Amino acid sequence: MSYSVTLGDGTRFDAPGDQPVLESALRAGAWMAHACSQGTCGTCKFKIEEGTVDHGSSCTDVLPPCDRSAGLALACQARPTSDLTASVLGEDKGRRVSHPLKDHTGRVIELTTVASDTVRLVVQVDEPMEFSPGQYCEFSVPGTDLRRQYSIASTPCDGTRLEFHIRRVSGGAATDGWIFRDLAEGHEVQLRGPLGTFLLDGVQEETAILIGGGTGLAPLKSIAVHALENNLLPKISLYHGCRTASDLYDVEFFRDLRDAYPDTFSYHPVLSDEPGESSWDGARGLITEAVLEDYSTCRGHVAFLCGPPAMIEAGVKVLRRRRMPSRLMHREEFTPAAGDPVAVARSA
């Protein structure tokens, strides 16, 4: 059965009772704040003014009983059981570009190891996907009801060829149980997208600082390349932090990009745990310390940060210390997927 949902700004869309409100909204091209899409971050909380929902598997840590009693729900988990009138609690709709959420069938055209326990997955999809650089897709894990989220590393100029960077999670349902075990070139995959509000949404006047930890590089690669090719940012400094040289990847790609755009783009790989006796002659230490050392002020800058929670937290502190306002810090924070032992994807 399908119900009608009306948001506070007058937006209306149909929402099937067997589908989360967020999914129905995005498929209809309606904007709702969201990030992880798996009920762990709380970004998609909204207030029900009239009507009822089934909260599904909403975690009580994220949506406690007092919130439910107050009419709050998680749009990525709640399914309507009647017509709804609701208020979106997230940021202003006008600040974000909205692309309709669609299901896609894809075929793996590349699956290569690029670093320690890290692969580059390239998928050719059945029809072009419209997305903004920085967004992500959800993959269906074969033989399960699970979905896992991975950022798009390619640019929107060719929406039929999507690139992803995926790090193996020990015991992970999608990585150990599928991608690193059975997946191969030529295999068919099911995915949907785009999702996420961590994105570059047009021309920006501020100089950009991109800070990525591990495979947090993926959306930053999409943002950097798209911005350079379309003159969207005056200057870009990319910082990529890894533990050791074996974890670092796409070094030559970014060095070539630096050579192609010498006045606009700079690249700074930083290793935190590289043995002292190694041949590595680049920066060492924490990626946030490198940013702190390179900037006496971050006024007039915008930042995009993607990676583990500790890195994001440290990055925010550094940027605030250098006088960057919070509104100019765009963050994509890895959070644990339900059922997996450690973080795989998504944001706040």
pLDDT tens for 66-97 read 999 889 999 999 999 999 999 888 654 444 66
Q: Does domain 2-95 have CATH number 2.170.150.20?
A: no
- Collect all residues with Cβ–Cβ distance below 8 Å to 10 and sequence separation of at least 6: none
Which range has the worst mean pLDDT, 3-12, 121-130, 244-253?
Answer: 3-12
Contact 54, 79 (CB under 8 A): yes
Higher pLDDT, 338 or 278: 278
Determine the pLDDT at residue 35.
81
Place of tokens 């599928």: 178
pLDDT > 70 fraction of the chain, expressed in percent and rounded: 94
**0.85 exceeded by the pTM?**
yes
- Residue 228: its H or E element: helix 217-230
Which whole-number Å values give the CA distances from 82 to 2, 6, 30, 232, in the listed order? 9, 12, 19, 44
| Band of residue 36 on the pLDDT scale cut at 50, 70, 90 | confident
The pLDDT of residue 91 is 57
Q: Evaluate whether 11 touches 28 at the Cβ level (below 8 Å).
A: no
**Tokens describing residue 66:** 């007092």
Evaluate if residue 30 carries a pLDDT over 80.
yes
For residues 121 and 316, what is the distance between their CA atoms, to the nearest angstrom?
30
Beta-carbon neighbour count of residue 300 at 10 Å? Answer: 12
So what's the pLDDT on residue 336?
60
* Superfamily for domain range 102-195: Translation factors (2.40.30.10)
If you average pLDDT over residues 38-46, what whole number do you get? 86
Domain ranges of the chain: 2-95, 102-195, 207-345
How far apart, in Å, are the Cα atoms of 149 and each of 165, 174, 327? 11, 10, 25
pLDDT classification of 340: cutoffs 50, 70, 90: low
Please report the pLDDT score of residue 52 as a whole number. Answer: 94
For 169-226, the pLDDT digits (tens) are 999 999 999 999 999 999 999 999 999 989 998 899 999 999 999 999 999 999 999 9
- Mean pLDDT of the region 241-262: 97
pLDDT band at 347 (very low <50, low <70, confident <90, very high): very low
CATH number of 207-345: 3.40.50.80
DSSP state of 311: H
CB 35 within 8 A of CB 196: yes
Closest CA to 136 of 155, 154, 121, 151: 151
